[in-house]
Amino acid sequence: MPCRNPSHGMRSGMTPLRISFLIRSMYDLLPSNANLVRWGKKEDPTCLLCQGRQTTEHILSSCRIALSQGRYTWRHNRVLQELAAIISTAKGETTLPNTNALIFTTEGGAKSWHGRPVRTTNHIKCLLDGCDDWDVSADLPEWDSRPSIIKETRLRPDIVIHSASTQQLIMVELTVPYENRMEEAHTYKREKYMDLTKELVNAGYKAVVMPVEVGARGFVGSSVYDLLTKLSICGNKRTKALKLLAEIAENSSRWIWSRRNERFLHKD
């Protein structure tokens, strides 16, 4: 499971309620009905929504009623909205191929000639390098401007980064699973988009799918770190982005937890 250490520095800006939820969810010490039975505080471990066994994992990721009511989709879309905003800032920092020609001059400057151009290496290799017409769209109402070739397919990638001039497509597919299923979710999404990626390549596109995971309790998968790095979002920017994604997932799950025994979902 991805590491997330609730250090003193990390906790300093948190409310006591948030600190309590984070630590108790990490060690499965939240008062789910299953835990209350285990602690001798209750006799029935049943989930009041779906009648399944109410564990912390069940509440945060596995209740079929919570799923049908859109609770998990709401959390997913909150994380997706922030991830799309983070990625959109990267497209403005792309660089075109940069080469510097070596110029040789004879002593005294009487004669000069150009040597072979040498590519500079003063920035990290970025997936967005090489063109400046990248467009970012997301499967959200306020972001939906996907390229037509994607609209024609039955799949809806969460984020599409598209360059018309070079016919490149980067599809980012986000999952917000319980942390013990992050690897499974990554494999599933990669296989799900395998056929579409092949179709796009056969149609002349340079296409790649990048599944990423942010855990339900705020543990950010290494796949997100890799994605941000490949988009040249590094250093403090990357650290802040990872922290923000973690906080959004964790806060959303805390809201879902607080409504675990509500049969009907009421908008606040």
The full set of domain ranges for the chain reads 15-258
Burial class (CB in 10 A: 0-12, 13-18, 19+), 80: buried
Cα distances from 157 to residues 4, 73, 77, 253, in angstroms, run 28, 14, 13, 23
Using DSSP bridges, classify how beta strands 168-175 and 206-213 pair: parallel, antiparallel or unpaired. parallel
Count CA atoms within 13 Å of residue 61 on its CB side. 20
Q: Where are the beta strands (DSSP E) in 6-151?
A: 99-105, 112-119, 134-138
Q: Name the DSSP letter for residue 218.
A: S
| Amino acid found at 121 | T
Higher pLDDT, 4 or 50: 50
- Using DSSP, state whether 41 is helix, strand or coil: coil
Higher pLDDT, 68 or 120: 68
Which residues does 42 contact at the CB level (< 8 Å), separation at least 6? 33, 36
Least confident among 6-15, 52-61, 69-78? 6-15
Q: pLDDT digits over 149-162, tens only?
A: 888 888 999 999 99
Q: pLDDT digits over 68-105, tens only?
A: 999 999 999 999 999 999 999 886 554 444 444 444 44
In the prediction, which pLDDT does 168 show? 94
Nearest to 203 by CA among 149, 264, 253, 152: 149
